[in-house]
Amino acid sequence: MTSETIDFIMTKLISEKMNIPYAQQSISQADIDAVIEVLNSKFLTQGPMVPAFENFISSYVGSDHAVAFNSATSALHVACLALGVTSGDIVWTSPNTFVASSNCALYCGADVDFVDIDPLTYNLSSDRLEEKLILAKKSGRLPKVVIPVHFCGQPCDMRAICRLSKIYGFRIIEDASHAIGAEYESQKIGIGKFSDITIFSFHPVKIITSAEGGMAVTNDKNIASKLRLLRSHGITNSPHEMHSRPKDEIWNYQQIDLGFNYRMSDIHAALGLKQIERIEQFLDRRRSIALRYDKELQGLPITLPFQISAGLSSYHLYPIRLHLDEIKKTQKEVWAALHSAGILVNLLYIPVYLQPYYEALGFKRGYCPEAESYYRETISIPMFPGLTDFQQGRVIEQIREVLLF
């Protein structure tokens, strides 16, 4: 290896170490040991770790049932199916979300529509929802399901959305992929007071991680049974669910529905179970980081995240909204300048209906003006428990420099 090659490698390593990502998992030795223990056990999947993880989550959020999946996307898909979403139905959600929040309805053969966001919280607006429902009732095209998304971990206006569900007859799936540990009206998101099903994500950038994974929680035992059935091929070995067959034949399992291979493995569950033990530590650190940002970014030409009085955010993200009429740079120039300085900000989210696939379905620019304004003006800055005070100081310093000079 030449000296030039060594210099190149060292420069690259130093550069990568200096970069500060917008999000990152926090893995301890205890997490690693938990995974190794499963690898050395008899069960890599369909063993004891998944129900243990489910029970812990259920107890933590206060739900009656928890059903683990290999991803939150899978959980959203099966949640829609469990509520009877099918061809001819329509599902509404927020445009300010990851595509999975709407794709899950398309997987069921249903149509999708979007409700514009609140300009303060960036969540699905309950006012816009009510306006849209009034028009939909007149046209005979009410939604089967509405999927509010707790963006950044900030709870939606669930009391208002639930009130509207009673009037207009739709079911509710809370997409809480960002929001495990968040609270609404002093209760954990997932307790199910205002919805049928709540979905959590355990992707590495989320509040806790199982590497990949998701969880559906509900208080309805029939929904829970359907979720469990559909996540595992539609197969059951429960005698009271199985169809009668000749007594001289062995039927130790039966497929009674068309399901999927959406199970979480014991390896992933072990990591998730160990991570959830530290969730309050993770949440405290995220909220501490947010408080420092709130204080030290005040006075800059940006809008800081707004927090509703009824909620306690889990701060999955910390988006700042640029006052583009007050600074000398475009959003893209701010993005590029921060990346050049090693601050790897992100843009979450591009309105779902602007994606090429959705444009092909007929959606056009201008459909949800608030979501599009948010997209054009916002960047998400680093927010994760492992962000050190020194790193956060560097983020703040670079944001000041980019915006003011």
The 10s digit of each residue's pLDDT in 215-236 is: 999 999 999 999 999 999 999 9
Question: pLDDT category, 10, cuts 50, 70, 90?
Answer: low
Residues 311 and 177: their CA atoms lie apart, in Å, by 16
So what's the pLDDT on residue 378? 98
Torsions phi, psi for 183 (to 5 deg): -130, 145
Residues 64 and 176: their CA atoms lie apart, in Å, by 17
Is it true that domain 29-276 has CATH number 3.40.640.10? yes
Locate 299 and state its tokens: 């006075």
User: 40-98: per-residue pLDDT in tens?
Assistant: 999 999 999 999 999 999 999 999 999 999 999 999 999 999 999 999 999 999 999 99
User: 272-298: per-residue pLDDT in tens?
Assistant: 999 999 999 999 999 999 999 999 999
Q: Which stretches within 266-352 are classed as H helix?
A: 266-276, 279-296, 331-340
% of the chain beyond a pLDDT of 70: 96
So what's the pLDDT on residue 169? 98
**Angle at which helices 29-39 and 266-276 cross, to 10°:** 150
Q: Is the pLDDT reported for residue 198 higher than 50? A: yes
So what's the pLDDT on residue 125? 98
Residues 397 and 385: their CA atoms lie apart, in Å, by 19
Torsions phi, psi for 383 (to 5 deg): -150, 105
Locus of tokens 């992929």: 177
Is the separation of the CB atoms in 300 and 404 below 8 Å?
yes
So what's the pLDDT on residue 12? 47
**Can you name the CATH fold of 3-19+279-404?**
Aspartate Aminotransferase, domain 1 (3.90.1150)
Question: pLDDT category, 204, cuts 50, 70, 90?
Answer: very high
So what's the pLDDT on residue 18? 85
User: 111-146: per-residue pLDDT in tens?
Assistant: 999 999 999 999 999 999 999 999 999 999 999 999
Greatest Cα-to-Cα distance within the chain, rounded to the nearest angstrom:
83
Q: Is the pLDDT reported for residue 4 higher than 70? A: no
Closest CA to 276 of 215, 187, 196, 194: 215
Task: Map out the domains of the chain as residue ranges.
Answer: 3-19+279-404, 29-276
User: 152-187: per-residue pLDDT in tens?
Assistant: 999 999 999 999 999 999 999 999 999 999 999 999
